């Protein structure tokens, strides 16, 4: 970054126009609410929003998504606001995207919500696995759209030179397609290797019978702040959409001494691109393999109900809908006490906390302990002295109530998770 007159030079920010269609019958999000969220995504990606355009339609047009008259309007708005980029709130098909670009005179970049989210993910990925997962999703998005990009170049006769003469023999489009396919298969192989490692770790946790809690929730709900509050760890928490991409797992000792693990992972959003869900399969498995999911909701957000709905949709999509779930309403410190009370009445089973101030965290931990213990089996087992390892396991995984020594061995009375109880079954005395 250069310095001019003592001030850091701001790189030219992309100027974006947001386009949404208001389809009837209405989904849950109004077009304005959805565009508000798109604007936050644009800001997260360090661009500015300079205009909005919406159209009420029974369903989008197959060729141009919005009506051709609307596209004229869009062109005028783009000229008037000196826009550089047009972003549609819904995923455009490759041909819609190139049709619109052409009709706007090839002067503006035409993107959609998916491309924007993929771009943000690309900037926030920090681990090797995270970067590969994002690259995979980006290439999958790009692949069917290459034709449009090359049509664009071919039209630009002024450019000439290298590239403009391509097309004899294998066309550049074919070359690029092949390069992308090759790159995708390399990434796929690398990801398979990494996900094997992750699976081994996860299997280790499953086999060790450690109780696993996953935090799931809308982006910016406060999942990372909560894992920090629960486990004293140091995950990056930021007022940013998709601040976290890579999962973090931390140990937590419950009152009574049982050790469990808690995992924080990527946030969800409405209209989450399916290519991302697909590419982040191994990351999301941390959620779909958990014993308990805490759905973290920003209680203070006016759209909290809809956000919870979107989260439930993704949980269903990743096959996690049968896992026991507790709704955790966060950020109550930002609300009036009366509003919190009203919300408590509407959601009697939920837990209300502030991950930031720590309010309600002890109650949450007690709630987790109670749910973890609800599967427990109470029994007495006589274990021979030479089986000391099993005795250790009882103390690690269960809650020992009584321990009596005699010549035959140790008689332990305890409540144990079902996995441990079945290991102990043959020693059972009552």
Ligand X SMILES: Nc1nc2c(ncn2[C@@H]2O[C@H](COP(=O)(O)OP(=O)(O)OP(=O)(O)O)[C@@H](O)[C@H]2O)c(=O)[nH]1
Residues in contact with ligand X by CB under 6 A are 217, 219-225, 237-244, 267, 330-331, 333-334, 354-356
Is residue 256 within 8 A of residue 364, CB to CB? The reply is: no
Binding site partner of 246, from Mg ion, ligand X, none, Cβ cut-off 5-8 A by kind: none
Give the CA distances from residue 64 to residues 25, 72, 111, 335, 382, in Å, rounded to whole numbers and listed in that order. Answer: 21, 12, 13, 44, 74
Binding site partner of 286, from Mg ion, ligand X, none, Cβ cut-off 5-8 A by kind: none
Binding site partner of 241, from Mg ion, ligand X, none, Cβ cut-off 5-8 A by kind: ligand X
Measure CA 226 to chain center.
16
Residues 103-132 that bind Mg ion (CB under 5 A): none
Task: By CB under 5 A, tell whether 135 contacts Mg ion.
Answer: no
Residue 342 Cβ vs Mg ion, minimum distance, rounded to whole Å = 28
Q: What gap in Å lies between CA 360 and CA 100, rounded to an integer?
A: 51
Binding characters for Mg ion, 229-258, by CB under 5 A (x = yes): --------------xx--------------
Binding residue for Mg ion, selected from 224, 270, 275, 283, defined by CB under 5 A: 224
Task: By CB under 5 A, tell whether 44 contacts Mg ion.
Answer: no
Q: Which is nearer to Mg ion, 224 or 288 (CB)?
A: 224
Sign of the CA dihedral with 263 first, then 114, 145, and 81 last: negative
Q: What gap in Å lies between CA 408 and CA 423, rounded to an integer?
A: 19
Peptide bond into 221 cis (omega under 30): no
Q: What gap in Å lies between CA 364 and CA 231, rounded to an integer?
A: 13
Binding site partner of 330, from Mg ion, ligand X, none, Cβ cut-off 5-8 A by kind: ligand X
Binding site partner of 219, from Mg ion, ligand X, none, Cβ cut-off 5-8 A by kind: ligand X
- Beta strands (DSSP E) in 24-169 are 48-57, 85-88, 109-112
| 273 token code pair | 């691109």
Residue 213 Cβ vs Mg ion, minimum distance, rounded to whole Å = 16
| 331 token code pair | 């950020």
Task: By CB under 5 A, tell whether 140 contacts Mg ion.
Answer: no
Position closest to ligand X via CB: 267
The site for Mg ion (CB under 5 A) is made up of: 224, 243-244
């Amino acid at each position: 970054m250069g310095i001019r007159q003592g001030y850091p030079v701001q790189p030219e920010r992309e100027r974006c126009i947001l386009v949404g269609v208001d389809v009837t019958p209405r989904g849950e999000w109004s077009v304005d609410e959805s565009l508000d969220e798109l604007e936050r995504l644009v800001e997260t990606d360090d661009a500015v929003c300079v205009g909005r355009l919406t159209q009420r339609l029974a369903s989008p047009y197959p060729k141009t998504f919005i009506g051709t008259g609307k596209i004229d309007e869009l062109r005028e708005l783009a000229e008037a606001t000196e826009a550089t980029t047009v972003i549609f709130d819904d995923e455009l098909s490759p041909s819609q995207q190139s049709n619109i670009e052409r009709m706007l005179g090839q002067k503006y970049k035409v993107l959609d919500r998916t491309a924007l989210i993929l771009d943000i993910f690309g900037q926030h990925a920090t681990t090797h696995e995270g970067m590969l997962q994002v690259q995979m999703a980006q290439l999958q998005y790009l692949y069917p759209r290459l034709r449009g990009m090359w049509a664009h170049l071919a039209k630009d006769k002024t450019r000439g030179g290298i590239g403009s003469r391509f097309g004899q023999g294998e066309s550049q489009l074919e070359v690029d397609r092949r390069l992308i396919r090759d790159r995708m298969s390399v990434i796929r192989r690398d990801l398979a290797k990494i996900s094997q490692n992750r699976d081994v770790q996860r299997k280790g946790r499953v086999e060790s019978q450690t109780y696993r809690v996953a935090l799931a929730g809308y982006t910016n709900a406060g999942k990372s702040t909560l894992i920090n509050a629960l486990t004293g760890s140091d995950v990056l928490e930021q007022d940013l959409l998709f601040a976290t991409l890579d999962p973090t797992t931390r140990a937590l000792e419950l009152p009574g001494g049982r050790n469990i693990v808690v995992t924080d992972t990527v946030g969800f959003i409405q209209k989450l691109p399916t290519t991302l869900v697909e590419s982040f399969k191994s990351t999301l498995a941390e959620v779909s393999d958990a014993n308990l999911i805490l759905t973290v909701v920003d209680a203070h957000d006016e759209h909290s109900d809809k956000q919870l709905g979107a989260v439930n949709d993704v949980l269903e999509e990743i096959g996690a809908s049968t896992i026991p779930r507790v709704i955790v309403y966060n950020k109550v410190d930002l609300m009036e006490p009366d509003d919190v009370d009203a919300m408590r009445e509407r959601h009697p089973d939920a837990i209300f906390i502030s991950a930031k101030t720590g309010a309600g965290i002890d109650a949450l931990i007690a709630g987790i302990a109670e749910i973890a213990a609800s599967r427990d089996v109470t029994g007495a087992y006589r274990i021979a002295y030479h089986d000391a390892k099993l005795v250790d396991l009882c103390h690690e995984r269960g809650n020992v109530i009584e321990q009596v020594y005699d010549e035959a061995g140790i008689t332990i009375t305890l409540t144990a998770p079902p996995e441990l109880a079945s290991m102990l079954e043959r020693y059972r005395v009552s």
